[in-house]
Amino acid sequence: MINKVTIKTLQQKKDLKEKITMLTGYDYQTAKLIDQAGIDIILVGDSLGMVVLGYENTLRVTIEDMIYHSKAVTRGSKRAMVVTDLPFMAYKIADISQTVQNAGRIIKESRATAVKMEGGQDIVEEVKATIDAGIPVMGHLGLTPQSVNQFGGFKVQCKEESAAKKLVEDALALEGAGIFALVLECIPAKLAKEVTEQLSIPTIGIGAGKDCDGQVLVTQDMLGILSDFTPRFVRRYADLDNQIKQAFKNYKEEVQNGNFPSLDESFS
């Protein structure tokens, strides 16, 4: 019997000081491999806009995009928890009931376990309403990609004392609203440690130092598939960009010179 990762599992890991692992996934096969590797959480991030769809940022990603990719990921995941981003303009809107409806569509149609929402005290009421509807919510503070235009690009956040203070307040407000975990992105390691120690729920860092309760990376980054730009916080565990390109070149050459297919690869 497969022991499915649950919210209780993640909380137990924090309490026992066992690190939580999370990677992004956008398709069935990748999700299957991540799941088989024993990763705790697969995040269907709106980063798929950049990684899969080729957009310059995450802002053009739609609810339909998130549902489509989440369906594939949940089909590939047997053990890992699947969390799906609520995309830009699916929340932080005047009608909170629409936020709940959008979150509900993701859970109902894709079978993901939870949704992730970016923001602090400004989204507390939406978070509460979503959780009250029976939908678990993961929070996200620091560098929140859906606010990239406000930030003026992808930069480290909360270096100033006032911004750091606000992030702590936001984190506590989100915990009070009922989130089960919090992603901290691109903030000073010392601040991430402070937040992690103040919260009773797990924190998951990306560019936030080693003292968070867990870590997350974009899978394509850590596999070395995206070679245009590698953020400082990424550690490459493979160099698939060059390996894949070389495989394509080898295939092209062998087709052109007649070495593929061979007699063993043909039918009589």
Q: Which residues are annotated as a binding site for Mg(2+)?
A: 46, 85, 118
Q: How far apart are CA 135 and CA 77, in angstroms?
A: 19
Q: Of these residues, 185, 194, 197, 254, which one is catalytic?
A: 185
Long-range contacts, stretch 86-94, CB < 8 angstroms, 24+ apart: 86/115, 86/116, 86/117, 87/46, 87/58, 87/61, 87/62, 87/63, 87/146, 88/46, 88/58, 88/59, 88/60, 88/61, 88/146, 90/63, 91/117, 91/123, 91/126, 92/119, 92/122, 92/123, 92/126
What is the dihedral sign for C-alpha 224, 226, 227, 229?
Answer: negative
Per the annotation, binding residues are 46-47, 85, 116, 118
Tell me the two tokens of residue 126: 């939406």
Per the annotation, binding residues for 3-methyl-2-oxobutanoate are 46-47, 85, 116
185 in catalytic set: yes
Q: How far apart are CA 172 and CA 150, in angstroms?
A: 23
Q: Look up tokens 């978070």; give the residue.
A: 127
10, 179 contact by CB (below 8 A): no
Q: How far apart are CA 268 and CA 22, in angstroms?
A: 48
Q: How far apart are CA 209 and CA 119, in angstroms?
A: 20
Residues recognised as catalytic: 185
